[in-house]
Amino acid sequence: MADQKIMKKRLKELMNRPENQVCSDCPERQPRWASLIVPPPGAPPGSLPMGAFCCLECSGSHRRLGVHISFVRSINLDS
């Protein structure tokens, strides 16, 4: 339970940053979806996943990439 509280606090901190107040793919404000884009097979050692906040419409585009590329979750609906 403590880990979940820590994660929620960290998520809130990230969401409050000015650069995260707009969808990563379009000008929509207050994105409510998070997308974790994983490095492709054969990426250089040490490559890390990249996270982005996106709006509902753009989250659909991220989902269509497939879970092997982009893992998408709602900030409000998913745990």
Please tell me the total count of domains within the chain.
1
- pTM of the predicted structure, to 2 decimals: 0.81
Give 3's pLDDT tier (boundaries 50, 70, 90).
Answer: confident
Domain annotation covers residue 79:
no
* Whole-number pLDDT of residue 8: 86
Domain annotation covers residue 17:
yes
Mapping DSSP onto H, E and C, the string for 5-55 reads: HHHHHHHHHHHCCHHHCECCCCCCECCCEEEEECCCCCCCCCCCCEEEEEC
* Whole-number pLDDT of residue 7: 85
pLDDT in tens, 13-51: 999 999 999 999 999 999 999 999 999 889 999 999 999
Domain that holds residue 6: 2-74
